[in-house]
Structure 1
């Protein structure tokens, strides 16, 4: 039995996960191979963005850039109570683990879009984990639950000092930095609304921006379709969640159960990630119809 807070976190996580498939589906349906190419590149850009943000936080806190830091020092993915992992090895040079239950793969399977989730797995992990360590880490994802025949995900991510140039060795490993005094501050893992909200906006922006850049303005038709489909789904899931939690479906309920801010004008990330009409598209094709359906209608700018 989950607590109300855990149920809210699960709703945030599922909405973030479904964003990917709602954007991906129309891109592939309307543009075929070219749409998939744009989706894959957008996914890689999203991974590199997350890697750079985490690496920057680590460098500012005097944290070494290695595998232990990547996975254990202030990671940007909030915890999900459903997630199950068997961690076999975690140290500065490598992380070996099996994911026994992945909520992302589970909801993609339930929605019948496992093949879209597989694209995410194929592109995101390698792009993000490799980029974090300046392109020198090696990523082996031998199994993934987005493959129908695989029952778990098998990760082996390594960073060997022997593969690094001399100037990066002290940046990544304590043994090459005799004057190292340790981190200057404690970095906490991202949590709940703030964490999933950041990932949601970044994912939307990178997929949509890459699609527009590679496919032209006609890609906005696919983005619009994805947002409209996402709105219909969000309305039903929010209604069901409010019923399950015994809560009225209010602005406050939306804020606690959906990654986006209820008032998009109060989200500073849109200044960076909402260009090329992306914030306006989210306002008009997601926010406005959703809030109208729920009786919480905002204005469409």
Structure 2
């Protein structure tokens, strides 16, 4: 059974899922199915690469070995939703294999006939993240997906073999290759769940916008803008229900706890992204939501 605090975080996660699906549908509707898929896959790859590079540098600066165990268990830039149910089969420095039996992302997308669009995120993000983190040495196999109608779980298999890398990279990755290495007493902590969802929301959206513009020009920007409008309507409808079910007013305090983005658009997490991405989000999502508050 989930606590009220858990439910607030789950609402933020579902808002991210809704954003991705609304924009993905708009891009494929207005830019065409094949072009839309190209945009979405490339955007997820870019977001994944950025996460992998950031994680590698973060761990390097902290004096932590950059292997697969630390990629998924140390200083993470995301924290799993409490609704995720899975099994970690191997947790090793050069091998990570796990299965996911319940996933709120897949569940949200599948219930809205968006599993195929969701699969682009599932197939591209973690693979690109792994390649960036391992400097193109790592390998990933996603053999089953909950977003696929024939599968009832996800299975991720990741490998980072010492034999495939230089001696210098092996020394950076594995303690047994670095005699005298001492792990830091205070390794980096994970971000909070809310920070992770906020950063993921901004990253996926901003990269879709950038990729859509590169491939389709202003038509691509308009497609993303239409997706943001759809998300605004869905987010408001969802939060009205959430507020009613918890006997809370739909006010700024409620939105702060149940929606992944601050309504003022001034969060430093936007730093490094284009001004147009922040401006579109503010005009089409954040300001309209603020206008509806009690």
| TM-score (structure 1 length as normaliser) | 0.94
1:294 matched to which residue of 2? 293
- Conserved 8 A contact 1:79-1:191: no
Aligned to 1:298: none
Tell me the residue number matched to 2:15: 15
* SS in structure 2 at match of 1:132: helix
User: What SS does structure 1 have at the residue aligned with 2:228?
Assistant: helix
Contact 1:12/1:192 (<8 A) preserved: no
- Give the Å deviation of 1:184: 5.4
Aligned position for 1:105:
106
**SS class of match (1:154):** strand
Alignment of 1:1-301 (within 5 A): 1-32=1-32, 33-183=34-184, 185-265=186-266, 267-275=267-275, 277-295=276-294
Could you say what secondary structure the match of 1:136 adopts? coil
Computed over aligned residues only, the root mean square deviation of the Cα atoms, in angstroms, reads: 1.3
Residue in 2 that maps onto 1:299: none
- Cα displacement (A) at 1:79: 2.6
Structure 1 unaligned segments of length 5 or more: list them.
296-301
State the Cα deviation string for residues 142-194 of structure 1 (Å, max 9, x = none): 00101011000011101110000122110111111112111253222222322
Moved more, 40-49 or 17-26: 17-26
The 3 A distance-change label for structure 1 pair 212 and 38 is same
2:272 partner SS: helix
Secondary structure of 2:90's aligned partner: strand
Unaligned runs of at least 5 residues, structure 2:
none
Q: CA deviation at 1:118?
A: 1.0
Q: Distance in 2 between matches of 1:184 and 1:46?
A: 31
Find the aligned partners of 1:233 and 1:3 in 2 and give their Cα distance.
24
TM (norm. structure 2) is 0.96
Give distance in 1, aligned partners of 2:11 and 2:218.
32
